[in-house]
């Protein structure tokens, strides 16, 4: 053994990030939320993560099926519980079939790389989630052509599909973009794909359980339930409060994924407690379709009152409200003051968002009381930094 430490340069890079105010630290929370605290930082949109029917189903699934899946679905990890969850998810979403993965991230990686082989062109919105970006990078390494279009620019997406020169074409887009909370023009993208014989793959991580009638998702909201040539990935870890991911789409595609999606074939199957929890949450959602509406109303109220207080808040299409801060330092200290006042908010800064676009990210929940929303609003407004941009048309923020 020499005395060269190959990890030393990583420590130096961490010190540089810290000096630039970019350090990221874990902050483990205790099992109980402080009394009176309001959580606007997580993605537990419908309040299911701690719902007794959901946690009870997780425990029951662990007892019946085991704490882990024990192997890949194709080897030893497939259970009737997975089958039941996939059938109910497909039925709810209006897709022919569904396949669950160990996370939304692996669902996106597996879906995109299994569809876009070396002969394909992938046309991607620049604002896509990191999991779609990584999926496109993997596809590119396998020979696919990757073309990016500016966020939300449907005309550019259409032109890229028409001009790419490859026979197999696929368009990749989030439905609800996770940082600003805006919704893509799903119907317009579907038309552009249909005109060019292209597949449309959508990431509906923030749409399932949130948008569409009864939370049936962005395809349903766009009148595209079961549309040919279209598939969606979703997560079980946001509105459903569990853990895991899913792909929803035509049966032919799902069969292809079972045999070829590397993050399905080589990954241990979704853990049974997560599958049981997601199934229980899905049944709660179906049992009370008013929850997603309440969630969207709360998001709109948060946005309207922040804007009325003069802050540059996005107008939400789903559950996410983003509020611009003057600078990355101000975003960090603003979030810290909110936390001290008992309100947890997300804080997004470069490199997660472009330079100059640091912001607080607030996520509404269906289970917040009016009084909790009042308290959250009061805390965010009272803690505002002096330099917070004012409401109004701020590039990209509506
Ligand atoms: N897509 C989007 C748009 C997301 O926001 C996330 C989660 N941050 C994912 C995919 C990944 O889902 P999961 O957390 O289940 O891996």
- What pLDDT sits at residue 1? 62
- Biggest CA pair distance of the chain: 64
ipTM: 0.99
Q: What is the 169 CA–ligand 1 centroid distance (Å)?
A: 24
- What pLDDT sits at residue 254? 98
Q: What is the 235 CA–ligand 1 centroid distance (Å)?
A: 6
The DSSP code for 364 is: -
Q: Which atom of ligand 1 is nearest to the CA of 108?
A: 10
φ, ψ of residue 362 to 5 degrees: the values are -110, 130
- What pLDDT sits at residue 398? 34
Nearest CA among 50, 52, 45 for reference residue 33: 50
Nearest-CA residue for ligand 1 atom 5 is 178
Q: Is 9 exposed, middle or buried (0-12, 13-18, 19+ CB in 10 A)?
A: exposed
Q: How far is CA 182 from CA 43, 120, 188, 211, 299, in A?
A: 16, 28, 15, 12, 12
Q: What is the 176 CA–ligand 1 centroid distance (Å)?
A: 11
Contacts for 152 with CB less than 8 Å, ≥ 6 apart: 125, 127, 182, 184, 185
Domains of the chain: 52-287 (3.40.640.10), 289-382 (3.90.1150.10)
Ligand 1 environment, Cβ below 6 A: 103-105, 108, 129, 131, 174, 178, 203, 205-206, 235, 237, 245
How many angstroms separate the CA atoms of 256 and 267, rounded? 16
How many angstroms separate the CA atoms of 153 and 150, rounded? 5
**Mutation test of ligand 1: which of 204, 235, 353 has the most ligand atoms closer than 8 Å to its C-beta?**
235
Answer yes or no: are the C-beta atoms of 92 and 220 closer than 8 Å.
no
**Mutation test of ligand 1: which of 129, 242, 353 has the most ligand atoms closer than 8 Å to its C-beta?**
129
- What pLDDT sits at residue 189? 98
What is the C-alpha radius of gyration for the chain, rounded to an integer number of angstroms? 21
Answer yes or no: are the C-beta atoms of 263 and 106 closer than 8 Å.
yes
Q: What is the 2 CA–ligand 1 centroid distance (Å)?
A: 41
Dihedral through CA 389, CA 393, CA 394, CA 396, nearest 10?
Answer: 150
Using the structure block, give the residue that is written with the tokens 């993050």. 263
- What pLDDT sits at residue 396? 40
How many angstroms separate the CA atoms of 334 and 382, rounded? 10
Q: What is the 386 CA–ligand 1 centroid distance (Å)?
A: 33
Q: Where are the beta strands (DSSP E) in the chain?
A: 38-40, 97-101, 120-125, 145-149, 168-174, 199-203, 230-235, 245-249, 320-324, 343-348, 359-363
Going residue by residue through the chain (398 aa), what tens digit of pLDDT does each one get?
678 999 999 999 999 989 987 788 898 888 877 777 999 999 999 999 999 999 999 999 999 999 999 999 999 999 999 999 999 999 999 999 999 999 999 999 999 999 998 999 999 999 999 999 999 999 999 999 999 999 999 999 999 999 998 999 999 999 999 888 999 999 999 999 999 999 999 999 999 999 999 999 999 999 999 999 999 999 999 999 999 999 999 999 999 999 999 999 999 999 999 999 999 999 999 999 999 999 999 999 999 999 999 999 999 999 999 999 988 889 999 999 999 999 999 999 887 788 788 999 999 999 999 999 999 999 999 999 887 888 654 434 43
């Amino acid at each position: 053994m020499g005395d060269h430490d190959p990890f030393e340069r990583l420590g130096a890079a961490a010190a540089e990030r810290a000096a630039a105010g970019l350090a990221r630290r874990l902050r483990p929370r205790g099992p109980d939320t402080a009394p009176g605290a309001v959580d606007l930082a997580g993605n537990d949109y419908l309040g299911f993560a701690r719902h007794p029917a959901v946690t009870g189903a997780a425990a029951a699934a662990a007892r019946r099926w085991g704490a882990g899946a024990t192997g890949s679905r194709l080897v030893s990890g497939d259970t009737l519980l997975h089958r039941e969850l996939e059938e109910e998810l497909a039925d709810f979403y209006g897709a022919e079939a569904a396949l669950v993965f160990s996370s939304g991230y692996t669902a996106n990686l597996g879906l995109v790389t299994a569809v876009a082989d070396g002969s394909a062109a992938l046309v991607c919105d620049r604002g896509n989630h990191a999991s779609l970006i990584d999926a496109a990078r993997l596809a590119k390494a396998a020979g696919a052509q990757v073309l990016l279009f500016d966020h939300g620019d449907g005309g550019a997406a259409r032109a890229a599909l028409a001009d790419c020169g490859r026979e197999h074409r696929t368009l990749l887009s989030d439905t609800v973009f996770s940082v600003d909370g805006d919704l893509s023009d799903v119907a317009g993208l579907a038309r552009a794909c249909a005109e060019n014989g292209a597949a449309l793959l959508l990431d509906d991580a923030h749409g399932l359980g949130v948008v569409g009638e009864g939370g049936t998702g962005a395809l349903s909201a766009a009148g595209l339930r079961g549309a040919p040539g279209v598939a969606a990935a979703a997560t079980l870890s946001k509105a459903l409060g569990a853990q895991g991911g899913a792909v929803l789409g035509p049966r032919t595609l799902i069969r292809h994924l079972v045999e070829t999606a590397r993050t399905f074939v080589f990954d241990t199957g979704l853990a049974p407690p997560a599958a049981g929890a997601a199934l229980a949450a899905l049944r709660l959602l179906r049992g009370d379709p008013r929850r997603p509406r309440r969630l969207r109303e709360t998001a709109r109220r948060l946005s309207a009152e922040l804007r009325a207080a003069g802050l540059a808040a996005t107008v939400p299409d789903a559950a996410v409200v983003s509020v611009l801060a003057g600078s990355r330092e101000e975003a960090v200290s603003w979030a810290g003051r909110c936390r001290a006042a008992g309100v947890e908010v997300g804080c997004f800064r470069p490199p997660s968002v472009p330079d100059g676009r640091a912001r607080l990210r607030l996520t509404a929940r269906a289970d917040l009381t009016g009084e909790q929303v009042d308290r959250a609003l009061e805390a965010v407004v009272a803690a505002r930094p002096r330099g917070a941009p004012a409401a109004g048309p701020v590039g990209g923020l509506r």
